[in-house]
Structure 1
């Protein structure tokens, strides 16, 4: 079994409790992030659909992808029960190989996704590929602390968090974003340097 299949099985297994885990992200953070969207939107790692109720009415369309079918089942239930003013399509897909043409979306959203992607660099490069040249990528991500001693503790705890719920807490996501060729336009610290709101551009010049 390859690493992608192992991660998928883990998220299928814990999908039932992910609603509780999603509450780690403050509603205020979700609201502020999603108030900035425009046009046709792709949300990667949509999971159980925790962001759905925060999308503004001016959203043109929303495509949500996740590689866990059990996660998507929860999201589909929310779509079926909700009253949305825009079309929503949910697709089972891997962020490392998205099934969309180049330059497909005006806005791409990710919330706590790149802690669990097996190859985060490939995932970020896929976001760059499917984002329009004048589009934006909006992210809420947790990552390794800039404080050395805190980062060391996170390194020690990381094997446990991966086993429990699949999240790497010591990813150096800012470095990975820079290596992907994306341009960081906004880096707002929400919880020290561990939790951040980011706005990046595809830099396709």
Structure 2
């Protein structure tokens, strides 16, 4: 049985105080440079970050932008609020599920997420919500880890996935590029520097 929203929320609530420490090595070695590349692509003034987590992207926010950050884990959001205070970041933080956003259609110039859709129970439903709240001509930017195209590595990822989901609520075998392509975006492009497993995806409405 696939875990539901409540089960995944509880897992993220449980690990929230330790989350930054758990990912510190990978963050320093790999993710920081990818986050910078992701945020360097942002267009427009009004930005929504979904799955803000503990606020790992705060350092990359563009100056003078109007930014809203959401997360469905109350404890992760609490960590982000503390970090917002320490870093003096200008961002509105709200408790919200990406699968059911409270925002009106065509609200944001850019909608952005990093390593989020591995944890969304109904990823295509969530992606269609990003499409809905993005302005016409606006962009959806995603940084995601996906299932390897190498059959051997993919087999190992599929085998390990239930364990990872049980521990932290994240899937390591999602095919997020295909999921984005299944949505009604006018264009979907994968950054040429993307690796086999880490993909930077830019979709236009």
TM over 0.5: yes
Q: Of residues 26, 31, 49 in structure 2, which corresponds to 1:43?
A: 49
Partner of 1:80: 85
Q: Of residues 51, 70, 74 in structure 1, which corresponds to 2:75?
A: 70
Partner of 2:199: 196
For residues 189 and 118 of structure 2, what CA distance do their matches in structure 1 show?
21
Q: Write the deviation string for residues 149-200 of structure 1: whole angstroms up to 9, x where unpaired.
A: 111110001011111111100111111111122331233343x311111111
TM-score, structure 2 as length reference: 0.91
SS of the residue aligned with 1:188?
coil
Using a 3 Å threshold, how does the CA distance of structure 1 residues 35 and 189 change in structure 2: closer, same or farther? closer
* 4+ long deviations beyond 4 Å: none
Partner of 1:125: 128
Task: Give 5+ residue unaligned stretches, structure 1.
Answer: none
Q: Of residues 115, 138, 142 in structure 1, which corresponds to 2:145?
A: 142
1:6 aligns with 2:7: yes
CA RMSD, aligned part only? 1.5
SS of the residue aligned with 1:128?
helix
Residues 137 and 204 in structure 2, CA contact (< 8 A), matched pair in contact too: yes
SS of the residue aligned with 2:103?
coil
Residues 142 and 201 in structure 2, CA contact (< 8 A), matched pair in contact too: yes
Task: Give 5+ residue unaligned stretches, structure 2.
Answer: none
Partner of 2:158: 155
TM-score, structure 1 as length reference: 0.91
1:54 aligns with 2:60: yes
SS of the residue aligned with 2:192?
strand
Residues 188 and 198 in structure 1, CA contact (< 8 A), matched pair in contact too: no
SS of the residue aligned with 2:85?
helix
